[in-house]
Every structure is written in structure tokens, then in C-alpha cells.
């Protein structure tokens, strides 16, 4: 319906579009406009307008021949080695869904193994030889053809061709097999390359994390990981942890002196096992006894001990 596409100002008669038009779906249509005065009786007149939709360059060229092979691989064309200059090798066929000047297509040779060996017609798409085949030329030639329309901005499409110089199919078959094997090897190489890059990235991140942890542990700034913090100690003192809780089982140590022996011995009673729920790595209650304090305590114990009369 027309109100879906157009609206008209009842006072000025200006037509407005209600939405954008698609040239591929609607190219032209007619509108009848009625003009009426305010007299009594009112008089009116009708007018018919034919609207043409202009095309917009929004469609890429579509290449019909040669059609790309499986997984986007290039097609093969056989060229006899005895081909003379101007020999028609193949023809690239393409269409454009646009119309007018937007649908005008031009063909360009974008890439070639031997740039001076082939040429392509700018408006026909015909690929021809510029000279005869020489012994120094490779048997397999690769061409990349660019098809571009005449719109603004221009849209384009590309197609790849593999041309093999051979007199018959038996001579061209080895080159075709080599091309297939090269494609498979390239796919495997890309897979292993991605895998290697992933492993290298993981090892790099792991190394950086370990280095940061070691630096923080040496600096003692592990507030978020207290279990990894170093235990402070003194070089000229003896450590007697009264309730050592850094391991899996806490121990309690006591300094004892045997009165039955002629020499002083330090004995350690059996460990007192605490429940596992009281074990924590956040308690660092080590007692540092300097050497002079320990010697004075040992002398007091010697004076209090009774001599053995036996």
C-alpha cells in the first residue's frame, strides 16, 4: 500500500518517503494525487505521478566462472606449451545485481607468476597469452583476477586460477597433485603454528607469575599470601618456638634438666597434638632467645641442682 511508502502534506502537496526503498525489490510505481479547493461546491483535479527508484551500489560482483573449488581453492586450467601469442586461455564471467552504471564491470590482473606472460580484457574478462611459452617459464602459473564494478565507492571480488602448461592431462596431473599436497601441508603448518604460539604464551605467563612471586617473597610483601612469606630469624640467637604451628602438626617444646645424670641434657617430651581446626598459617609466635640469656638460665639450673653423693 502507498501509505506504507509515501506521505503527502495536505497544505503544500510535498511528498515524503516513509522508509528507504530497495531497488532490487521495487524499481518504479505510480501515485495518484488529488488537489481540491475549499469552495462550495469544492472543485478538484487529479494528477498521476510515476516514481523511479534509483539504484544504489550495494551489491558485490558475483563470479560465475571459474567457480572456486573446495574450501576456496583455485581452479585449474590447462594451456598447451605450443600456444602462440594471443591464445585464449580462459574467460572470467561475472555479474552484478545492481543496474545502470553500477553494474558495469571491469577486469584487472591483480597478481601473476609471470606478469608479461598473460593479459586480460578489461571489459570481456578474456585471458590471453602475450607471448609464447619459454623453457625458463614455470610449468604452473598462478593468476589472481580482480573484478570491480563502476559504483561509488566501487565494490569488487577476486578469483584465483592455476594455469598449467602441458600438452595433455597426463602431464598436468603431477602438478595438480603437488598443489593439493601443498594445500594440506599448509593447513597442518598453520595448526602447529597456532599450537606453538599458545604454548609459548602460556609458559611466558607462568614464568612471569613465578618471578613476581619470588620477588614478593624475598621482599616480605606478601600480605595477600601470608603462607608464602619468609620466617624472620636472627643469626646470633637460638629459636625455641613454644607453640610451633607452621607445619601440619603443632609441637610444644620444654627445656628440662635431668638430675640423675652427670651431664646436662636437653630432653623434648612427646609432642602434644592439637585438633586440626586450630592449625593456622597466620600465627607466627616464635620466641627468640639470645645466647647470653640462654647461658644465664643454664647457670641458674646448675646452682639449683644437688650433687650426686653416690
Question: What confidence score (pLDDT) does residue 283 get?
Answer: 47
Residues 69 and 156 in one domain: yes
> Could you tell me if residue 297 is inside a domain?
no
pTM of the predicted model as reported, rounded to 2 decimal places: 0.49
Question: What confidence score (pLDDT) does residue 218 get?
Answer: 78
> Could you tell me if residue 310 is inside a domain?
no
Average pLDDT along the chain: 76
The CB density around residue 79, as the number of other CB atoms within 10 Å, is 23
Residues of the chain predicted below pLDDT 70? 1, 68-74, 169-187, 220-295, 297-298, 300-310
Strand 88-91 and strand 237-240: pairing?
unpaired
CATH number assigned to the domain comprising residue 21: 2.60.40.60
Question: What confidence score (pLDDT) does residue 177 get?
Answer: 60
Distance CA 6, CA 33 (A): 11
Q: Which residues contact 139 (CB under 8 A, 6 or more apart)?
A: 164, 165, 166, 175
Question: What confidence score (pLDDT) does residue 290 get?
Answer: 56
Question: What confidence score (pLDDT) does residue 264 get?
Answer: 47
Question: What confidence score (pLDDT) does residue 216 get?
Answer: 81
> Could you tell me if residue 237 is inside a domain?
no
Residues 29 and 75 in one domain: no
- The DSSP secondary-structure symbol of 4 reads G
Q: How many domains does the chain have?
A: 2
66 upstream amide cis, omega within 30 of 0: yes
Last residue of a domain, one of 148, 179, 210: 179
Residues 175 and 66 in one domain: yes
Residues 43 and 115 in one domain: no
Last residue of a domain, one of 52, 70, 90: 52
Q: Which residue range is the domain that position 173 belongs to?
A: 62-179
Distance CA 13, CA 53 (A): 20
**Which CA distances in Å does 102 have to 1, 53, 54, 96?**
29, 14, 11, 8
Residues 78 and 148 in one domain: yes
Question: What confidence score (pLDDT) does residue 62 get?
Answer: 93
Question: What confidence score (pLDDT) does residue 137 get?
Answer: 87
**Which CA distances in Å does 84 have to 117, 118, 250?**
11, 12, 96
DSSP assignment of 33-70: EEEE-SSSS--EEEEEEEEEPPP------EEEESPP-G
> Could you tell me if residue 269 is inside a domain?
no
Question: What confidence score (pLDDT) does residue 109 get?
Answer: 94
Distance CA 28, CA 157 (A): 29
> Could you tell me if residue 158 is inside a domain?
yes
> Could you tell me if residue 88 is inside a domain?
yes
Last residue of a domain, one of 141, 162, 179: 179
Amino acid at each position: 500500500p502507498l501509505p506504507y511508502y509515501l506521505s503527502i502534506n495536505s497544505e503544500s502537496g510535498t511528498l515524503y518517503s516513509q522508509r528507504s526503498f530497495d531497488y532490487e525489490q521495487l524499481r518504479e510505481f505510480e501515485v495518484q494525487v488529488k488537489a481540491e479547493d475549499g469552495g462550495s461546491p469544492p472543485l478538484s483535479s487529479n494528477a498521476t505521478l510515476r516514481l523511479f527508484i534509483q539504484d544504489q551500489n550495494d551489491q558485490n560482483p558475483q563470479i560465475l566462472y571459474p567457480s572456486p573449488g573446495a574450501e576456496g581453492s583455485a581452479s585449474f586450467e590447462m594451456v598447451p606449451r605450443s600456444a602462440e601469442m594471443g591464445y585464449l586461455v580462459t574467460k572470467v564471467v561475472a555479474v552484478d545485481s545492481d543496474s545502470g552504471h553500477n553494474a558495469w564491470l571491469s577486469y584487472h590482473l591483480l597478481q601473476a607468476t609471470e606478469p608479461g606472460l598473460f593479459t586480460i580484457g578489461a571489459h570481456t574478462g578474456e585471458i590471453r597469452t602475450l607471448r609464447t611459452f619459454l623453457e625458463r617459464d614455470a610449468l604452473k602459473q598462478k593468476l589472481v583476477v580482480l573484478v570491480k564494478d563502476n559504483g561509488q565507492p566501487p565494490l569488487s571480488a577476486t578469483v584465483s586460477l592455476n594455469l598449467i602448461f602441458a600438452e595433455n592431462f597426463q602431464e598436468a596431473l603431477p602438478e595438480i597433485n603437488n598443489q593439493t599436497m601443498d594445500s594440506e601441508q599448509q593447513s597442518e603448518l598453520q595448526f602447529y603454528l597456532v599450537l606453538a604460539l599458545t604454548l609459548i604464551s602460556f609458559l611466558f605467563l607462568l614464568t612471569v607469575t613465578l618471578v613476581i612471586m619470588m620477588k614478593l617473597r624475598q621482599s616480605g610483601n606478601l600480605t595477600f599470601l601470608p603462607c608464602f612469606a619468609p620466617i624472620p630469624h636472627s643469626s646470633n640467637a637460638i629459636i625455641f618456638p613454644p607453640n610451633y604451628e607452621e607445619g601440619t602438626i603443632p609441637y610444644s617444646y620444654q627445656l628440662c634438666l635431668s638430675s640423675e645424670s652427670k651431664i646436662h641434657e636437653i630432653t623434648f617430651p612427646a609432642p602434644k597434638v592439637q585438633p586440626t581446626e586450630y592449625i593456622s598459617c597466620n600465627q607466627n609466635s616464635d620466641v627468640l632467645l639470645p645466647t647470653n640469656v640462654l647461658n644465664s638460665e643454664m647457670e641458674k639450673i646448675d646452682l639449683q641442682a644437688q650433687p650426686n653423693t653416690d
